[in-house]
Structure 1
Amino acid sequence: MNMGMKGIGVRRLALALSGICVFIAIGAVPVYAANISFTFSGTVSDVHGGVFTSGGTGTNGFGSALPLSGAFSFNPATSDVLPGDPTWGLYPNAIQNMTVQVGNYTATFAPPPGSSVMQVVNNGLGNTFKVTLNGLTGNPVNGLSPAIFEIELINPSGSAFANDHLPTTPPSLSSFSSNQWRLVFSGVGNRVQGALTSLVPLPAAVWLFGAGLIALIGLGSRGLVTRKES
């Protein structure tokens, strides 16, 4: 086989690899095969029980007006355990991981042993989006350990959702008349809570990073063709 034929063969291989990359980058996205991540932020409005410390910044107890930030990832292919009810979706253990920070305090979640449930309600009484995570990991605050984290959005008008499926894009906070988060500690009545100010997808920079990798693969293929033909 002469060098011209080798060049054509390598060029065809490069085109085939490029086609596979495009299929992965574009064709696979609509089926949501990978986990989906939402980031969130908010503020503290109330602190109850033994985790309250006047002027606390988090690790030494919580005061009011501290910032909240965090992110969680979930599997959008998780099955609804109530398939016969088209108005209430109940998705156990959909959450794959979560990190939440209040002030300078951080708690994390990962299964197992932690468990989770995501709920999407779409009925005549309105819409609810609720995320509940049990089994957090984090340092004790005033001797109390983190136990539960919740996000709950409520819209009595019932216009936020079209069905009871897990949302693949974050629900718009402006569509809900009430939104609240809670970080609950061990014991009774020990919690810090407030309202969300944002609930958004994973930053676009992460997707751009993936696209950059695909571009590098394409550049490498073209370089291989050039070297083979020279």
Structure 2
Amino acid sequence: MRTAASQPPPRVGKVYLIGAGPGAADLITVRGARILAQADVVLHDALVTAEMLELCPQAVKISVGKRSGQRSTAQQEINQRLLECAAQYGIVVRLKGGDPMLFGRADEELRALESRNIPYEIVPGITAALAAAASAKQPLTIRGVARSVSLFTSSTAPDQPQEARMPNGDTLVQYMGGREATATARRLLALGHAPETPVIVVENCSRDDERIRHLQLSGLEQGLTECSGPVLVMIGPALAPR
């Protein structure tokens, strides 16, 4: 009869934080797709498409999506489910839209995994800013015009002020900028940015229902109320039409 000391150690799987890219299933990396095809369980965001999940038909799929203004899974609960899955499955995938290390709440999840000594690996993905620039056929940097890019979001933690300091950069890219369009434009205008500063708005980047709008900062001040999908706003002189 085995004693408690001779019991085998509890099973610990490996967790992969994989960037799904901006939306289109064929924009995930080769490494990400390969691991996804081997996964036992996949915890995925709300922005991960059904086509992307077809790459892992063998896996148990758990939605842990977070969408602004909609019912979502609290981050603490996501962390706990990751720990539970690592104790139950061999290959655990946490599938995030875009890149896990940019506005992906990766820090909280990595801290949870490290607190239990759970092995993990991070597989980068194409972030929305780069995919949106490609869709719009508009470089974010141009020699002599723009040599720096700032990526930012207006989303803050509950204990932080709602209006964070505006970033510096020749080209500004705001993630999840649909609801904040008017406030962002007014703050930039107040800082001295010209009303005719070029703006490109990309909705549902890389998907079949992608929409691209070209406007100016003065037009962005009117808001983006007609947008219903994920919105990325790019601002700066590099975005002027060629």
TM value normalised by structure 2? 0.22
Q: Which has the higher strand share?
A: 1
